[in-house]
């Protein structure tokens, strides 16, 4: 299968809390933690059991990275895969992140590749 991603995805252990943003700015999911599969400076993939989001759903997220710093970002769901046992995997792109925070992810990637 051909790789379509522009940026390498990293398999890392990070903590992510998400909060859904609706069109009317109504929050339907108060902060919930999700299981991050991988992350890059342009997006992330996560898994969550027994919760269904549609493509196009947007979330405000707090991502605690390996340095214990927290990155505030907004991402949008672009792909949904239904896995076994009611678990859904979501592919997302960042639609709101500072250049500084994107650089933190890129620096970790460079550090990780050098090992």
Domains, the chain, ordered by start: 15-114 (2.40.10.220)
Which bin fits 85, alpha (ψ -120 to 50), beta or left (φ > 0)? left
- For residue range 75-90, what is the model confidence (pLDDT) as tens digits? 999 999 999 888 999 9
Strand runs labelled E in the chain = 15-21, 32-39, 43-49, 58-64, 70-82, 87-96
Instruction: Indicate the pTM of the whole model.
Output: 0.79
Q: Which of 51, 55, 35 is nearest to 85 (CA)?
A: 51
- For residue range 24-52, what is the model confidence (pLDDT) as tens digits? 665 556 678 888 888 888 999 999 888 88
CA dihedral 54, 23, 74, 29 (to 10 degrees): -70
């Amino acid at each position: 299968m051909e790789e379509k991603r522009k940026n390498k995805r990293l398999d890392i252990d990070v903590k992510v809390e998400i909060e859904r943003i609706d069109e009317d700015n109504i929050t339907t999911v108060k902060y919930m933690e999700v299981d991050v599969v991988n992350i890059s400076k342009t997006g992330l993939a996560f898994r969550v059991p027994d919760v269904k989001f549609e493509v196009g759903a947007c979330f405000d997220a707090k991502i605690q990275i390996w340095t214990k710093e927290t990155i505030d970002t907004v991402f949008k769901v672009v792909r949904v895969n239904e896995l076994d046992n009611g678990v859904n995997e979501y592919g997302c792109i960042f639609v709101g992140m500072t250049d500084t925070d994107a650089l933190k992810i890129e620096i970790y990637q460079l550090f990780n590749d050098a090992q």
